[in-house]
């Protein structure tokens, strides 16, 4: 006997939702998935009528589903938004160049304006060049820092009201675990926030409409909707620290499917003693973008690359200061020797 959809529509069920365990037909799954994202947007007041929203588009499943669903919801519920696509080209041969072709296809399919910014034009470096200098042990540090600032730069160029990213429930749960393991209380405080930034006039907020969407369901939605997305993993990703947190989370999910949401809710409820030092977010005195240190991490990393000290921004600030002092001392000595002849 066929299993029927639990919504009572009398259609045959074709899947069991990983998130709820309900058996649903194709149509009810699509509607339920989209409605949950709509409720997340409405309950958290992520957008306002007339907003220009930049969707951070990588060509992967998350950003593709985000663009598709926001277009549907914007028309269905008359949000009154202008949606544009913002992509960052990190300069990773065989990965980003291929995924950008998918982004361009999304641009044509959804009729959205597309802006592509590259690391090379922003910083004078590509990730391929950076990895040739730093190796594969800390490359994700450079890419993550530069990418976050590149999105801010792109948002400012496009004059948007906010940036929507494709972070899903799995991503956020992984980040909570990573910050706990590293003892990073500063990031642990804000990694569960569905909206970050936008506290001053020059800061453009970021929102996460897919915060409560499971990765498995995003993949299922993209697959059964036959959306065009790029599924190849970054060639530098296998060495990332996040991979260990992801593997641990997947093991937890096998034993307890609700583990992902449990971790997110735990992160949302965490509180810290008043004695815990809170970093103050301001503006970098060099580049003018949001930072909790002077100069910002992006400027420190870029300075290290340009100085020939690629590990300058990796690790503690005191170590970086010693590296700069040592190099300046060598240069001064070299200049003294040169003037003696």
Known binding-site residues equal 56-58, 62, 88, 166, 171
Closest-CA residue to 17 (of 37, 4, 33): 33
Between the two ends of the chain, the Cα-to-Cα distance in Å is: 96
Task: Count CB atoms within 10 A of the CB of residue 231.
Answer: 11
Token pair of 318 as six digits: 């005191």
| Pair 204, 163: CB distance under 8 Å | yes
Helix (H, G, I), strand (E, B) or coil at 153: helix
Annotated binding site for ATP: 56-58, 62, 88, 166, 171
Token pair of 44 as six digits: 């958290």
Is 58 exposed, middle or buried, given 0-12, 13-18 or 19+ CB atoms closer than 10 A?
buried
Closest-CA residue to 204 (of 75, 318, 54): 54
As a whole number of angstroms, the distance between CA 325 and CA 220 comes to 53
Token pair of 271 as six digits: 């509180």
As a whole number of angstroms, the distance between CA 246 and CA 48 comes to 34
């Amino acid at each position: 006997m066929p299993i029927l959809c639990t919504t009572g529509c009398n259609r045959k069920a074709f899947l069991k939702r990983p998130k709820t365990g309900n058996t649903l037909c194709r149509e009810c799954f699509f509607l339920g998935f989209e409605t949950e994202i709509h409720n997340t947007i409405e309950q958290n007041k992520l957008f306002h009528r007339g907003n220009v929203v930049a969707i951070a588009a990588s060509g992967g499943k998350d950003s593709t589903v985000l663009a598709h669903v926001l277009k549907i919801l914007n028309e269905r519920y008359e949000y009154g938004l202008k949606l544009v696509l913002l992509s960052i080209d990190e300069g990773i041969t065989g990965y980003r160049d291929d995924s950008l072709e998918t982004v361009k296809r999304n641009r044509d399919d959804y009729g959205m304006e597309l802006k592509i910014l590259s690391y090379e034009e922003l910083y004078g470096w590509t990730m391929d060049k950076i990895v040739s200098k730093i190796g594969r042990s800390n490359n994700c540090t450079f890419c993550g820092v530069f990418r976050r600032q590149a999105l801010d730069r792109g948002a400012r160029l496009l004059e948007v009201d906010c940036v929507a990213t494709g972070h899903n429930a799995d991503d956020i749960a992984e980040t909570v675990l990573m910050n706990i393991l590293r003892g990073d209380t500063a990031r642990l405080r804000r990694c569960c926030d569905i909206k970050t930034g936008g506290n001053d006039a020059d800061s453009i907020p970021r929102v996460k409409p897919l915060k409560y969407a499971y990765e498995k369901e995003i993949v299922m939605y993209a697959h059964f909707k036959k959306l065009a997305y790029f599924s190849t993993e970054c060639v530098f990703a296998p060495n990332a620290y996040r991979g260990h947190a992801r593997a641990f989370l997947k093991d937890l999910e096998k034993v307890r499917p609700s583990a992902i949401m449990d971790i997110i809710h735990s992160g949302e409820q965490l509180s810290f003693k008043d004695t815990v030092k809170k970093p103050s977010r301001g503006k970098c005195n060099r580049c003018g973008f949001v930072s909790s240190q002077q100069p910002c991490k992006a400027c420190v990393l870029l300075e290290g690359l340009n100085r020939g000290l690629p590990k300058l921004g990796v690790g503690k600030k005191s170590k970086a200061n010693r590296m700069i002092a040592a190099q300046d001392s060598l240069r001064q000595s070299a200049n003294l020797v040169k003037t003696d002849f």
